[in-house]
Amino acid sequence: MAQEHTEAKKCFAAVANETGQEWSHTLKPIVFYYSRSGRTEKLAHLAAKEMRAEIMRIEPEYAYGSFSSSISRVIKERVRREHPRSSTPIPDLSRFDPIFVGYPVWANDLPEFIGDFLSRCDLEGKTVIPFATFAVSGMEKSLASVTAACKGAQILYPFEDGMLRGGDYRKWRLNVRRYIWNME
């Protein structure tokens, strides 16, 4: 962890030197996430710290159990065309941009309660930066669901971290920091 922290400092110092500026953006980033196992949560907290963002956990209306029971439930919900909802209150996002969204990929897609939450947020003109964790499936299909839920938003810099194919977090955070610093 100390090695990763040192690498992060070097990475952000390089961006500050390249751009010649400190944080001066009037809007603040925010990280929304859901995590059942803790893997997405760890990534969300790391991103929030490094991007100087506020953080908020998205909760389903009815909690999910273990990984296998969650996947089984999600498949049944999709077959029955059930649409689980989020119990998380919708925040005023007028002070926030970009919006990070972290989620696990379940049964090859975004958990529907996260789509419900996002679709009720006012994301018009915002930048949404999704990041996903998964076992093997990847986040390709879930990006279409994120895009559909985030009406009027620009989807940029998706990041995926799978058990069999991990993403390059260092490169992702460098690109995102450059983007944030140049938003003005």
For tokens 């930066």, what's the residue? 129
Residue 6, in any domain of the structure: no
**Which comes out higher in pLDDT, residue 86 or 37?**
86
Residue 108, in any domain of the structure: yes
φ/ψ of residue 147, rounded to 5: -60, -45
pLDDT in tens, 51-106: 889 999 999 999 988 888 888 999 999 899 999 999 999 999 999 999 999 999 88
Residue 13, in any domain of the structure: no
Residue 137's pLDDT band, with cuts at 50, 70 and 90, is confident
- pLDDT tops 50 at residue 127: yes
Residue 51, in any domain of the structure: yes
- Cα 168 to the chain's mean position, in Å? 15
Give the strand pairing for 28-33 and 96-104.
parallel
For position 50, what pLDDT does the model report? 85
Using CA atoms, how far apart are residues 177 and 171, in angstroms rounded to an integer? 10
Residue 16, in any domain of the structure: no
The secondary structure of the chain in percent helix, strand, coil, rounded to multiples of 5, reads 40, 20, 40
- pLDDT tops 90 at residue 147: yes
- 3-class secondary-structure state, position 122: coil
pLDDT above 70 covers what percent of the chain? 79
Rg from Cα positions in the chain: 16
**Three-state helix/strand/coil letters over 150-161:** CCCCEECCCEEE
Number of structural domains, the chain?
1
φ/ψ of residue 57, rounded to 5: -85, 135
Q: Whole-prediction pTM value? A: 0.80
For 176, the domain range is 28-181
Residue 18, in any domain of the structure: no
- Computed over every residue of the chain, the mean pLDDT equals 81
Residue 171, in any domain of the structure: yes
Residue 133 sits in a domain whose CATH number is 3.40.50.360
For position 126, what pLDDT does the model report? 95
Least confident among 24-33, 100-109, 110-119: 24-33
Amino acid at 169: Y
Residue 84, in any domain of the structure: yes
